[in-house]
Structure 1
Amino acid sequence: MPSLVSRKRLARRAFTLIELLVVISIIGLLIGLTLPAVQKIREAANRLSCTNNLKQLGLAVHNYESNMNVLPTYGYYDPNAPTVNYPSTFDDGLGGLNPQGPKQQLAGWGYQLLPYIEQEPLWRGGGGTDRTSAIYNIAGTPNRMFRCPSRGSARIFTLPLTQVYPQPNNPGTGLPLWGSAPQNQIGVAQTDYAANGGEFPGDNAAGAFSYITQNNIQGPPASMNPPVRPNLKTFASYKDGQSNTVVIGEKLINRSQVGQAQADDFTGYAASYQVQPSAVNGAVATSGTVRWCGQAPTALNPNPTFVLRAPQPDYSAPTGDGGGAFGSSHPGGVLFVFGDGSVRRVTFGVDKGVFWKICNISDGGAVSDSDYE
């Protein structure tokens, strides 16, 4: 039987209610003090990962240009086409010797770079034995190199097959193109990065890459084998210098609409640039792989419709999309890989005219790092 002294010792070991509340308060205070530090460390890690992704994509662009003697393209541009245009076969017949350029030009720059980021099996169809399975594999396979970790996990958007661009020499759209496959939807892995499209949608002069347009294809588009493909760019096209020209950067999104039908964030990293004649959430739909700096006023057009805009921070709203602009979830600015392979931050408060200059490959304007960092 415990003695009286033992009972007193046991009693002294217990916490009073006040002591317990004090301990809880101290723990809460410590958590409150350490949480911002933890968030800063996490964001620093996310930014480092995002920087590495862009650096690898920039290196892939250089390797592509070195191997193909031209830069990647934005893919096929047709104002009357449905939304997504993936390669029709493993060899779509578009290409050959320069100046025609390399094959596989219908799909976008993200697809064209796959062999240069250790994804050649996926570029070849991911094990798919026919067009249907190959496109499902290519479109729906997430790739961490196209994802900024500050925006969470990889995003898959489900798109109706009727919005997938068919092989031009096959009639119809949607399911008839896919044989007897029962699926009527396709999952597309989205991207947090977009190529610099320059001044204005469809402008083939200012941006980092080139569009493959119906007007730039000599002969019927359905032939799929044009004899000439003009306006394909190389790094020599960057008259302002590779170190002064944006190639790929983070794109603006509406965070509350992630995974839904944002008009400019729903076609996947492998898609070509398209303009959709119908609308998504009340806006004209474009692919998620190209962004623009806007159009500079000129004497002939002092009030352009597509006005200049600087990079913006991501936002959350019940409706809306990125508006074709660059943006980021990182505090302070947007990360870009430049033509020389360096990754730099462009601040949200950058002068719009300065941003226009680094998005235009041959404007002739002088810009220093201090103007935008």
Structure 2
Amino acid sequence: MMDARSRLARGFTLVELLVVIAIIGVLVALLLPAVQAAREASRRAQCVNNLKQYGLALQNYASVKGAFPKGSLLKPSSLNDVYANANAVLLPYFEQAALNSLYNQNLQWEDQTVETIATPIAMFKCPSSSALNPYDDPQLFAAIERLSFGVGEYGFCMGYTDAFCARNGGKEGDIPASQNGMFNTSWGASMKQITDGLSNTIAMGDCSGDPRWKVCHGAKCGEQDLVPIPGGSELPTAAMGWIIGEPNSRQFFETLGARSGSYGCTVEAINKYPVTDTFISFTQFGIDANEFKKGTSGYYCKASFEGGSHSASNYRSDHPGGCNFLFADGSVRFLVEGIDMTTYRARSTIAGEEVVSD
């Protein structure tokens, strides 16, 4: 009996403890990816819900106004001044009446109050992104004396073009049907103009501003083209304020460096790294407007792959393997980053008459 009690009272040996610890470590290693996958699935579901909220707002706006909102709202007196982007004009349809009342449609976006510009709107940010919301932007502070910005991480689709296009008087310019998307400067398509079908046409998609997404300048730019932000050593990231509807331009480039924007296009692939910047060449913009004014037959705004000098950012996300996209009918689908580029580009146009399948 004494020997039995002695054996029962004895603790674990060191070897036994090490074996138990090793088993626990293996179990944790096996469970951790599953836990992380579950968390990402939850974040992705919330991202899908954000885009669905956008879909409802766009549908309601189109029902009231007869067309989807313009990507950037210009006044007839100037082609250079952006008063609001689609995010701003959709505020009442997002149940943001209080913020909408603060937004003065008679002032350019950069002249809105500090509080308006810095206000974070939860549904404008994808939860998979680690971007700060609001975030500080010293470069923009140097240009317009506004430091903090509520982040925007969903881009309005320009289609298979990166050309910013408008006529004098704040009216839309001409882009071929095989390239044209739902949104552009002074342009928001109507439902009737989307002849490819609402369920076949991309309205918006993920445009992450996570710090890991660095930005380079110009279409087809690569890692060799990454340049630190002006006056600093850090590389520019894709963070963008939801209120900013004005693409970067040569006038501000030396102060701001490469920037993303509130637009996305399908000229380049999903999740291209580094991200191509959003940039408007006012030289080309002015030439195009003048040609439209002269009534030049068959003239249209040229994309970068046709010799144009604008650029627009590619879609990107922090979801593994692709991006969420909102279609014009309000549905949301996940497109993989390896999607055939012809199919991807066809999905982004409103009237190319393409018949495609994912």
Q: What is the TM-score with the length of structure 1 in the denominator?
A: 0.66
Contact kept? 2:117, 2:150, Cα under 8 Å: yes
Is 1:16 matched with 2:16? no
Q: 1:59 to 1:207 in 2, by over 3 A?
A: same
Question: How many aligned positions are there?
Answer: 285
Alpha-carbon RMSD across the aligned residues, in angstroms, is 3.5
Residues 307-350 of structure 1, C-alpha deviations (whole Å, 9 max, x = no match): xx22126x6xxxx5454101122122211010011001111111
In structure 2, the gaps of 5 or more residues are: 166-172, 216-227, 230-234, 278-312
Residue 331 (structure 2) pairs with residue 342 (structure 1): yes
1:200 corresponds, among 145, 148, 162, to 162
> In structure 1, the residue corresponding to 2:269 is in which secondary structure?
coil
The one of 55, 60, 64 aligned to 2:52: 55
Does the 8 Å contact 1:77/1:273 carry over to 2? no
Question: What secondary structure, in the 3-state scheme, does the structure 2 residue paired with 1:363 have?
Answer: coil
Deviation at 1:16, TM superposition (A): 2.3
Deviation at 1:254, TM superposition (A): 6.5
Do the aligned partners of residues 10 and 252 (structure 1) sit closer, same or farther apart at CA in structure 2, a change above 3 Å counting? same
Deviation at 1:280, TM superposition (A): 6.8
Residues 350, 68 of structure 1: alpha-carbon distance in 2 compared, 3 angstrom cutoff? same
Partner residue, 2:253: 279
Distance 1:251 1:266, change over 3 A: closer
1:135 corresponds to: 113
Instruction: Confirm or deny: 8 A CA contact 1:157 1:190 kept in the other structure.
Output: no
Verify: 1:118 aligned to 2:95, yes or no. Answer: yes
Q: Taking structure 1 as reference, are residues 63 and 326 closer, same or farther at Cα in structure 2, changes over 3 Å only?
A: same
Choose which of 264, 268, 290 in structure 2 pairs with 1:291. 264
- Contact 2:118–2:149 at 8 Å: present in 1 too? yes
Letter in 1 for 2:270: P
Q: Secondary structure at the match of 2:148?
A: strand
Q: Larger deviation: 359-368 or 261-270?
A: 261-270
Any residues of structure 2 matched to 1:4-43 within 5 Å, and which?
Answer: 8=6, 11-12=9-10, 14-43=11-40
Question: SS of the residue aligned with 1:279?
Answer: helix
Please list the CA deviations of residues 281-332 of structure 1 after superposition, one character each: whole Å capped at 9, or x if unmatched: 99544x52101112xxxxxxxxxxxxxx22126x6xxxx5454101122122
Residue 136 of structure 2 aligns to a residue whose secondary structure is strand
Give the CA deviation at 1:162.
4.7
Of 226, 240, 243 in structure 1, the residue corresponding to residue 199 of structure 2 is: 243
For 1:349 and 1:77, locate their aligned partners in 2 and report how far apart those are by CA, in whole Å: 36
CA, structure 1 residues 72+352, in 2 after alignment: closer, same or farther (shift >3 Å)?
Answer: same
SS at match of 1:247: strand
Which of 147, 165, 185 is residue 211 of structure 1 equivalent to?
Answer: 185
Q: 1:113 to 1:75 in 2, by over 3 A?
A: same
Q: Which residue of 2 is the match for residue 179 of structure 1? A: none
TM-score by length of 2: 0.69
Aligned partner of 1:366: which letter? V
Residue 89 of structure 1 is matched in structure 2 by: none
Counterpart contact for 2:67–2:190, Cα < 8 Å = yes
Structure 1 unaligned residues grouped into runs of 5+: 86-105, 165-183, 213-230, 295-308
